Every structure is written in structure tokens, then in C-alpha cells.
Structure 1
């Protein structure tokens, strides 16, 4: 994908096509009109695999090292993040039942708060997705280098990373049939060894390995907030089924179920797996590890074969996540483009039924960020993680706000007990978003806010192209 795989369509004259007129809002269309005619669909199993496959990438495999800096207090943060992520999943379930069209958070914010809010969500989420791909591939490289480039030469690390972005793009460009089969297979292959580490591994814990409870030395709440912002990255993707809702059969039912089931399954594996790594690898060794689950497996079973097996699982896991996210990264701008809020080229699909232009552009941006990260930042993984977390918080906040808005304006017909429960969940999801925002740190907030606000001139340009401010010469 680092080359121009999908060249944008042009007219027979060779000139760029005129902008496509905006279609009615996805939110305004009926569920029957939302999905693309003839699109290949997948059911609850594949939708759940999409959620699990997108959430469990290589983030969880690299996370213990990033959290070890804070000490076991980060496990408290992980539990709090899990509660917040579950609240978000429940909010997405309610929103998906109300608005089953493709686009997820974009559709929810646009329907509740208008076009500009919808655009900001689409723009922020798009940044999150391709920046997240850069973070996933950086962590993925750490496990590939268990077998090759063991001395971590930066040049070869970049080559491996770019290959890890290119091949998933090719899988997606081949069409959704290839995507669905690959996503299910890779989800199973990576979930089984992680589940093993999160269950059997608990029997080998040595409490002496945990180290100081608050190893960072800062205030408890400051440590929990900072660790929570990093831990949130491991849950990015719980909304993927809602983003790709147009490709899911019976989205009113299956999207919400897939979101909640996928989130809960990931939560169990995440927390228990992290506890296992903390308790089987000495704290000082864990802080400097680039493949913590491999080190944990070697400590449990002795020798190198167990760690190598886990490393293979991590490589497969990361690759499966990149395949899923490469599709998702193009779905959000595609939904916005169909509503006239993103450049029209993002809305076009290839003959294979995928948004090829969005896949190509997003992969190139992820590749650029990956190269910059390796050559400019000392803590490559954490830097890219915090950037993607910051931009993801904006869609999550507005999605929770949209759910709260609809509950308070249209929920009066619901039973009082159910309404109170759903309002409490939405408020919790909203508070969780603000907490994650505060814990991201000044640097991430600076870069993230700058990237988000870069979307404002793009919005103006798109509106002008639509003729919202009068006729525009062409």
C-alpha cells in the first residue's frame, strides 16, 4: 500500500469527475435503504470476529511493557478502563439499534448534532484509525523481530513495518469475501493462545515480580489516569461493527450484540493476560521488553519454544487487526462522503466492492507516520498510541452524548427503570471519555488537537464544492 495501488477513477476525458451530489443523511435513510445493494454481508459471528480482531491487535501484546513503568497500579487503571469501555459498548448497542446504517459514531453525531459535528467525528475517527494502524504495526514489528532483525536496526524495522501495512491493504483490495474468511481465521488463531496465557499462566505467578505498586512515584490518581490513557488504546475498535453496519446482516440486532460480546471477551483476556505477564516477568526486565508475552511464556515453560509460539500468535494477531482496521479506516470517510461531508472520491467503491481510494490514502498516511515515529521519537509505541487515543476520545464523547441526547428527548416512552439505567450508562461513558482525555498528556493533546483542527479548512472546501455558499467555478 506504500505505492499507488488504487488510482482514483477518472472520466473518459481524463479530467477528474465532478463532485457527486450529496445524498440524504445516512441517519435519515431507512435501514433497508442504508446498505449498498449487492454488498456482501456477514452475520453475528463475523461481526463479533471483526470487533475482537480489531480490538485484539498487537496492542495487548505490547501493553504490559508500557504499563510496567507505572507498576501494578496500572492494573487498577485497566479495570476502570474496562468499565468505561463496557459502558461505551452498551451505548453503541443502543445507538446501533436506533440507527443501523453504516458509519457508526459519525452517523450518531450527525443525526443528533448536525453536519459539522458529524464531520468532526468522521475526521477524528479517520485520524484515529490510520494513526492506530501505525501503532499496531510498530508493536507488531517488535514480535516479528523475535525471529528476524533481532538487533533492532531501525532501517529494517521500518521495512518490516511498511510490509505490515501493505499486505493487509492488498487483502482488503481483493474484496470482502477474502476479508471475512481471513478475519475469522486470524481471530481464532490469536484468541486461543491469549486465552491460554490468561488462564493457565495465572498458575505460575510470582508476586515478587510485580515490584512497587506505584513504581512511577507520582500521585496515585495521576498514575491511574496516565496508565488508563495508554490502556484505552487496547479497546479501540469496540465500535467497528457499527462503523461497518451496512455490511452486517440484520444490523439492528447483530451490531449491538457483536459490540458487547466482543468487548467483554477482550476484557477478560486483557486483564488476566496482563496480570500473568506482570507476575511472571521481573519488573525491571518487563519495562525494557519489546515482546513481553514472549518473555512471559519463556519464563513459564523455560527455553525459547514457548515464547516463539506466542510471538507467532502476536504476529498473526497484529496482522489480523491490520486487515480489519484497513477496512474500517476507509468506511468512516466513505459514509461521510456519501453525505457530502468528505471528498467524493472516498465514497467510490472498486469492482471488488471496497472503498479502494480510502484504503490507499489511509495506508499511505499510516506509513508516513510510522516512518516519522521511528526516526523522530524515542518511545515510538507510546507516542503513537497516545495520539490515536486522543483523537478516538472525540468520537467516543460525542457518541455517548448523542445517546444521552436521544434518551432524554425520545426516551420518555420507555419504562422508567430502563430509561434510568440507560441514562446512567451514557453518563458513565461520557465521564470515561473526559477522564481518558485528561490522562492523554499535554503532548498528545497538542498534536491531537492540531490534527483535528486541520479538518476545519477541509470542511470549508467540501462545503464550497457542494455549492453550499453559491456557485463555484470548475
Structure 2
């Protein structure tokens, strides 16, 4: 959880928030409260549905196959587009040592190298992914803890600048800053996405989700405050490595900043490693239910890795990286906003699924006090998700809606190949006499809705009619 949430986003975030001034710290606190509400919601959902897929599984259970598909599609976009943003921020710290002139083609090549290095680690096997994640998480956590504690002692109030540096309304600035800040919490659902690979998921996934998010929140807020107070506002907006500049200002010279830069580089490659796994896990879960192309459900030998998903997602992340470097000046912010929007949609559906279950089934299974508490948390998570979409900006919502709706023809194509309409079994659909198979169809009670997971995560059998097709 920590390894996936803490990537390079937090190391680059102070610079992205600098245009809003210290007011963005207020946005960070609001986002933290919303993230905790989401973490509690995912924790509760994972207890009830301890199967891989996370937001996809929850939406499918509550609202049907099409909602599940849209969530899987949207989250998949978040994963590979987010990898592009992580790679861009990662390059900012690599360039502390190389390409100090920030030549675009070299920066772009470094970003692509980071993406494919993470893909190679993933293709080597699940155990290697986990081992690499543990090592990188420990190494990157130390400097962040240092900045969140010792760094606070070196804060100079003159460095903060105007409280609302945006010049606009405070409410609008908080909303805009919050949409950027939310990127640093993407991954709070990671444990639920890979729940099928976790020991005792009903116990471990909720604990990892809530405690991991809470620990990251403390480090994030205090670390960002320390950077704002140790780097002047003017310099903060121009740097690509704000934590490095903060460490240099505290100790003088460049050695401390170099140490932080190395930690950020390790953090970035660790986050890319974890997110590359999520890029493959989400479509893998959907493909097993027939809601993503079958190629995503194939595992690679004894490694147990859905290699097709790893490769395709890395190719897409590479393309958006190249596009962004050649079209945008503020590459990191543009990709971040798109990633946040496509992530918030599954968050919204997950909160709605939890609220739906509580209002329909919760009254029968929970005490009145616990029901009121859980409904309040789920409602806050739902409202927070809507607010995050609103703060993403018109252009981001336009691009995000466009890429989301690109999934609709994919869904139609998948359904056509299965010979199914909606959630009905294939045998329930009228078939023209001349197209009917000569064999006697299987008894209706033996038919299922296809290959995948049922309401409690168990395997389903492919229907006889679909097998004949």
C-alpha cells in the first residue's frame, strides 16, 4: 500500500501546488479527509467481497456488468496514464545528476527507460515484484520522514509568500489544488485490487488500506509544509526537484539534496513497479469475467503474471509520455489531472456501491449505530468524489469523458463476441433458426453468465451455449 501510494507524486507535488500558495495546504487537509473516507469505504467493501478487482468487482456486484466494465476501463486508464505522470516526475530527480539542461528528447528517453524497467521487473514474476517493492518502500520512506520531522525546525515564514497566490477566489483555488493533491493518494485502493493474491484478505486488505493511507497522510502534510517553509515561493514554482532544494537549503551545499534525489529515484521506480502490476491486475480480473479481451486473462508460465496487460499498458504509458513531452509545457500537471479524473470515477462508483448495500442490506445486518456511521462515511466518500471531479477543470473533464466513452464500443464488441445481451445468459437470447446449433442445448439450470467470479468471488463456468459458439 505504502509503496504504491508514495511514488514520485509527493516529491514533485510542492512545485505543482506552488501557484496556489500555502492555501494549497488547506486543500491537502481536505483531500486527506476525503482519502480517509475512501480508505474506510474500500476497507468495508473488501471485507464483503474479498476478490481481486477492487472497484471493478464492487461496481459489478452492485450495478451490473456494464458499470463494472466502465470502472475497469476507467481504472485501467488511470493506471497507465498515472505511470506516465510518475515517470515524468521521476525524471525530474534523475536530472539532478544527468541532463541538467533539461533537453526534451533526453528527458523523454529517461521517462521511457523508467517505464520499461518497471515492466521488466513485473514480467520476471510476482515474487520479484513483491521483494522489489519492500526494498524500495523502506529506502524512500526514510527521507520523507526526515523532512516531515527535522525539516519543520528550519521553516522560515518569509518563504511561504501570499497565502492565496492564485489571485482568484479561495474556494476555486482550494478545489483546483485539491484535484492535483489527490494524485498523491492514488493507490489507496491497491490492496483491494490484488485482494485475490493476499493472505487472509478479509482481515489484511482493510487494515492495509486504512493504516497505510493514514500513515502516508501524516508524512505528506508535514513534508509538504516543510518544503513550503524552506524553499522560497518563487523558487518552488520553477524547480522540478523541490525536496532536493529543501534539503540543500537546510544543510547548505548539495550533498543533502543529492541524497534526497536518490531516494526519490528509488521511490519512483518502486511506485512504477507497483502500478505496473495494477495495470495488469484490473483488466485481468475483468477479462476472467468476459468483460475485457481474453488476452488480458492469460498468465505467463510459472511467474503467474498477466504479461499481455503489462506490455500493452506500458506501451500506452509510453505513447502518452511522448505525446505530453512534445505538446505540453506543464507535462506533470496535465497527466496528473487526467489520471485523477479517471481514478475518481471508480472511487465514486465504489462509494455508491457501499451506500447502496448499506441502505438495502445493511439495515438487516448492522446495528443502528454502526449503520449510521458507515452510511456517513460512504456518503462523505461519494461527495468527495464529486467534488474532485468538479475541481479537475473543464478541459480535463472533457478529455477524461472522451477516453471513458471510448470504452463503450469495446464493450459492444465484447458482447457481440459472446452472443449475449445485457446480463442475460446466452441461451436466453433468441437465435435465428438457420443459425442454431444442431446439438441439444444444456438444461437451463446449468447455464451461468460466463467465465468469471460470482458474488462471493468464486469461479463461474462457461455456459454450454457460449462454448458451442
Pick one of 324, 329, 337 that aligns with 1:373.
324
1:192 CA displacement: 1.1
- TM-score, L = length of structure 1: 0.88
Q: How does 1:424-443 map to 2 (within 5 A)?
A: 424-443=376-395
Instruction: Give the structure 2 partner of residue 145 of structure 1.
Output: 95
Cα separation, 2, equivalents of 1:148 and 1:209: 28
Structure 2 partner of 1:34: none
Q: Which of 312, 318, 339 in structure 2 is aligned with 1:361?
A: 312
- Correspondence for 1:383: 334
Cα deviation, 1:153-199, whole Å, max 9, x if unaligned, reads 00101110010000110101000111111101100100111011100
CA distance in 1, matches of 2:197, 2:157: 47
Alignment match, 2:455: none
Return the alpha-carbon distance in structure 2 between the equivalents of residues 301 and 443 of structure 1.
41
Shift of 1:378: 1.2
Tell whether 2:266 aligns with 1:322. no
1:371-414, CA deviations, whole angstroms, 9 ceiling, x for partnerless residues? 00000011100000000011111000000000001111111121
Aligned-pair CA distance for 1:348 = 0.7
Aligned to 1:214, the other structure's residue is in SS state coil
Distance 1:466 1:259 in 2: 36
Corresponding residue of 1:40: none
Aligned partner of 2:349 in structure 1 is 398
- The equivalent of 2:424 in structure 1 is none
Provide structure 2 residue ranges, at least 5 long, that are not aligned to the other structure.
422-430, 436-465
Are 1:221 and 2:171 counterparts?
yes
Aligned counterpart for 1:448 among listed residues 378, 395, 400: 400
Residue deviations 1:303-359 (CA, integer Å, cap 9, x gap): 000000000000000000000000011111110000000101101110110000000
Q: Distance in 1 between matches of 2:417 and 2:241?
A: 48
DSSP 3-state at the match of 1:288: coil
- Structure-2 separation of matches of 1:154 and 1:415: 59
Counterpart in 1 of 2:454?
none
Q: CA deviation at 1:261?
A: 1.0
Offset, 1:128: 0.4
In structure 2, C-alpha distance between the alignment counterparts of 1:176 and 1:392, rounded to whole Å: 24
Q: Say whether 1:175 aligns with 2:125.
A: yes
Q: Distance in 2 between matches of 1:177 and 1:331?
A: 15
Partner residue in 2 for 1:298: 248
Superposition TM-score, scaled by structure 2 size: 0.89
Q: Say if 2:366 is the partner of 1:407.
A: no
Larger radius of gyration: 2
Structure-2 residue corresponding to 1:464: 416
In structure 1, list runs of 5 or more residues that go unmatched: 1-50
Aligned partner of residue 238 in structure 1, secondary structure: coil
Q: For 2:231 and 2:143, how far apart are their aligned partners in 1? A: 18
Whole-angstrom CA distance in 1 between matches of 2:214 and 2:237? 27
Cα distance between partner residues in 2 of 1:244 and 1:150: 39
* SS of aligned partner of 2:52: coil
Whole-angstrom CA distance in 2 between matches of 1:133 and 1:303: 32
CA distance in 1, matches of 2:315, 2:12: 24
Distance 2:293 2:420 in 1: 14
The C-alpha deviation readout for 1:237-285, integer Å capped at 9, x for no partner, is: 0000000001100000100100011101110110000000000000000
Q: Classify the secondary structure of the residue corresponding to 1:152.
A: coil
Question: Partners of 2:154 and 2:53 in 1: how far apart?
Answer: 44
Q: State the match for 1:20 in structure 2.
A: none
SS at match of 2:205: helix
SS of aligned partner of 1:163 = helix
Match of 2:286 in 1: 336
Counterpart for residue 40 of structure 2? 90
CA distance in 2, matches of 1:424, 1:278: 34
Q: What's 1:126 paired with?
A: 76
Q: State the secondary structure of the residue aligned to 1:57.
A: coil
Q: Trace 1:205-354 onto structure 2 (pairs within 5 A).
A: 205-351=155-301, 352-354=303-305
Taking the TM superposition and a 5 Å limit, the aligned residue runs for 1:60-209 are 60-209=10-159
Deviation at 1:145, TM superposition (A): 0.3
Q: Distance in 2 between matches of 1:193 and 1:432?
A: 30
Alignment of 1:31-46 (within 5 A): none
Cα distance in 2 for partners of 1:298, 1:67 equals 20
